[in-house]
Amino acid sequence: MRVLLWHVHGSWTTAFVQGRHEYLIPVTADRGPDGLGRARTWSWPASAVEITREEAADAEVDVVVLQRPHELEGLAAQWLGGRRPGREVAAVYLEHNAPQGRINELRHLAADRPELVVVHVTHFNDLFWDCGSTPTRVIEHGIVDPGDRYSGEVPAAAMVVNEPARRGRVTGTDLLERLGAAVPVDLFGMQTQHLAGAPGVRSVADLAQDRLHAEMARRRLYLHPVRWTSLGLSLLEAMHLGMPVVALATTEVVEAVPPEAGVVSTRVEVLADAARRLVADPEQARLMGKAARAAATARYGLDRFLADWDALLDEVRWR
């Protein structure tokens, strides 16, 4: 079938467009947030086709995958020539994020919209978001396997995070000084240089995906001190690479990382001690990394992910 979706989250979309459908990706002249078009730093198949607003207005579209509030509130209908998602065109709302705010007030934008289906990427998100009478599904992440590349030759922790200074406590930025006192922490991602200078914390670079994976796999372990996120795809990629994990026991992490794959705790001192032990014991790190890869490929493999999406797209198309 023909599926229209905006290029919003690069890693997630990279997995999604590996399926058997034709994927229509909006593009604008400025390639801004509402028209990024095809990815330039990820490998996408030819079935992911750029489409202009003029072309989309008359295009045959079987399902639209909405991912942001303004897509539901009007952008999608504008691109679809007035056709309304969920009414004239089958639609799902893909919610990537964990909700923010007071528990009793976590009502989803697409709540009480029975013409839609809200798709959550984790069971934690499904538990916390209030979608009212709107049907919901959980389709867990799928990862394009980067391969077992782990060497762990660099006795340091890798962490992938964008804009850590701005995001602060959400990404555990305030914890890095304590963790950096235990082991060197190498930061990858956008604007990590703002944290350079903190004891033990080093900004490496914002790298293209393949180079990033190669450099991550050289580090002894993957550090995930994030307090509140849906489930970091970089964490799952690190596990696919064969890296052991040291992570805060928050949101979906406790489901994703089994005990044999790393150390998960809400106590920062436990994480610091675990990181210190893994840096000092390459063999233990290697064994935990093997378990991490086995767990990640079994639960977050691409084939399962695409099969789950195929089933849902077939369902909503014929509702």
What ranges do the domains of the chain cover?
2-141+302-317, 154-299
Q: Averaged over 139-156, what is the pLDDT?
A: 97
Q: Is the pLDDT of residue 115 over 70?
A: yes
The radius of gyration computed from the CA coordinates of the chain, to the nearest angstrom, equals 20
Cβ atoms within 10 Å, residue 23: 23
In 164-218, alpha helices (H): 164-167, 176-180, 209-218
For the cut 80, the answer to whether the pLDDT of residue 119 exceeds it is yes
Mean pLDDT of 294-299: 98
Q: Which residues contact 155 (CB under 8 A, 6 or more apart)?
A: 183, 184, 220, 279
Query: Residue 41 phi/psi, 5° resolution?
Result: -120, 5
Given a cut of 70, is residue 143 above it in pLDDT? yes
pLDDT band at 194 (very low <50, low <70, confident <90, very high): low
- What whole-number percentage of the chain has pLDDT above 90? 86
At residue 203 the predicted structure's pLDDT band, cuts being 50, 70 and 90, is: confident
**pLDDT tens readout for residues 225-280:** 999 999 999 999 999 999 999 999 999 999 999 999 999 999 999 999 999 999 99
Res 222: pLDDT: 98
| Look-up of token digits 């020539």 | 81
Mean pLDDT taken over the chain: 94
Residue 312 has a pLDDT of: 98
pLDDT band at 116 (very low <50, low <70, confident <90, very high): very high
d(CA 17, CA 9): 12
Percent of the chain predicted with pLDDT > 70? 97
**Can you tell me the mean pLDDT for 94-99?**
96
d(CA 53, CA 59): 10
Say if residue 204's pLDDT is above 90.
no
Model pTM score? 0.94
**What confidence score (pLDDT) does residue 42 get?**
76
Contact status, residue 241 vs residue 149, Cβ threshold 8 Å: yes
pLDDT > 90? residue 19: yes
CATH fold of 154-299, please? Rossmann fold (3.40.50)
Instruction: Calculate mean pLDDT across residues 73-100.
Output: 97
Return d(Cα 93, Cα 160) in angstroms, integer.
Answer: 27
Highest mean pLDDT among 74-78, 98-102, 207-211: 74-78
